[in-house]
Amino acid sequence: MIKSVQRRRGQATDRILNLFITVVYVFLMAPIVLIVVLSLNAGEFLAFPPQGLSLRWFGTLYDNQQFMDAIVYSFQIAIVATVVSGIIGTMAAVYVVRHAGWAKGPLRLFLMGPLLIPEILTAIALLFFMYEIGIGTKYSIGIQIGHIVITIPYVFMNVATSLFNFDRSVEEAARSLGASPAQTFRRVTLPLIKPGVITGCLFAFVISFDIFNISLLLKGIGTNTLPIQLFDYLRWDFDPTAAAVSSISIAMTFIVIFVLDRYVGLRSLRF
């Protein structure tokens, strides 16, 4: 009798928990679904429910040179930030995990700093620094450095996690067979921590592509990243072109998630 009551209570708790999780997922996904639906709106304004379905606003986006330039510029910035932060973050992770000694804690805190400090404060500090060294915002160097600073922690975190779970006996076996330290890292260590490197770089790309505060303060004159161009557009226009741009960003994010799951495996991620 007691076991039966306990079983019913457990089932009721499971139902309540499942209902709560469902509500949370619906709450998180509803804005994304709404944006995609609005991008297919055949009407002239962002309105729900949509006045029919149409792909016309994606065509309008393609014909909008400012948006297309912003998309290309964002891709360029994000790709460079991903490559540089991938190299620096991986090297930093190897040093901190393997060789930092007593400085491991302070160095980890320093490298994770951009995630702990509000992004707007980092942007202001970088802006002052760029003007002090005479670069200012005339070139793309400032915005590129800002994106690299913000994305390095994502690479460092994922690669460091891979190294903490790493079996160093494999490296020792390679060294005992005559491999140099460089050969051991290239042929043994790097392939084994590759999931962490790929995951960190993909996160870095998505974060760089969507950064707003850093881009707003450090962008050069006459150049806009996609988030800034979208913000400027919504100040004067309110048609579904903005939803079409957002849908493209959403699609890109889901593509990254698919790549993570396909080539790395989401179950392998440990934070």
Q: Is the pLDDT of residue 112 over 80?
A: yes
How confident is the model over 165-187, as pLDDT tens digits? 777 777 777 777 777 777 777 77
Q: Is the pLDDT of residue 1 over 80?
A: no
Given this model, what pLDDT does residue 271 score?
A: 37
Given this model, what pLDDT does residue 83 score?
A: 92
Count of residues in the chain: 271
Given this model, what pLDDT does residue 151 score?
A: 92
Determine the Cα–Cα distance for residues 75 and 263; give it in Å rounded to an integer: 22
Structure tokens at 61: 């986006």
Mean of all residue pLDDT scores within the chain: 80
Which 3 state secondary structure label does DSSP give 53? strand
Which 3 state secondary structure label does DSSP give 1? coil
Given this model, what pLDDT does residue 2 score?
A: 61
Q: Is the pLDDT of residue 88 over 90?
A: yes
Given this model, what pLDDT does residue 6 score?
A: 63
Tell me what the mean pLDDT of segment 108-119 comes to: 85
Tell me what the mean pLDDT of segment 128-143 comes to: 77
120 close to 213: Cβ distance less than 8 angstroms: yes
How confident is the model over 6-48, as pLDDT tens digits? 666 666 777 888 888 888 888 888 878 888 887 877 767 776 7
Given this model, what pLDDT does residue 153 score?
A: 92
Question: What is residue 138's DSSP assignment?
Answer: S
Q: How confident is the model at residue 264 (pLDDT cuts 50, 70, 90)?
A: low
* Percentage of the chain lying above the pLDDT 90 cut: 8
Angle between helices 65-98 and 226-236 (to 10 degrees): 140
167 Rama class: left (phi>0) / alpha (psi -120 to 50) / beta: beta
Determine the Cα–Cα distance for residues 85 and 120; give it in Å rounded to an integer: 20
The DSSP string of 66-128 is HHHHHHHHHHHHHHHHHHHHHHHHHHHHHHHHHT-GGGHHHHHHHHTHHHHS-HHHHHHHHHH
211 close to 150: Cβ distance less than 8 angstroms: yes
Determine the Cα–Cα distance for residues 241 and 131; give it in Å rounded to an integer: 36
Assign domain 65-268 to its CATH superfamily: MetI-like (1.10.3720.10)
DSSP lists the bridge partners of residue 53 as: 41
Tell me what the mean pLDDT of segment 237-248 comes to: 78
Determine the Cα–Cα distance for residues 129 and 137; give it in Å rounded to an integer: 11
250 close to 32: Cβ distance less than 8 angstroms: yes
* Percentage of the chain lying above the pLDDT 70 cut: 89
Structure tokens at 67: 């948006």
The DSSP string of 134-172 is T-TTSSSHHHHHHHHHHHHHHHHHHHHHHHHT--THHHH
Q: Is the pLDDT of residue 66 over 70?
A: yes
How confident is the model over 43-53, as pLDDT tens digits? 677 767 777 77
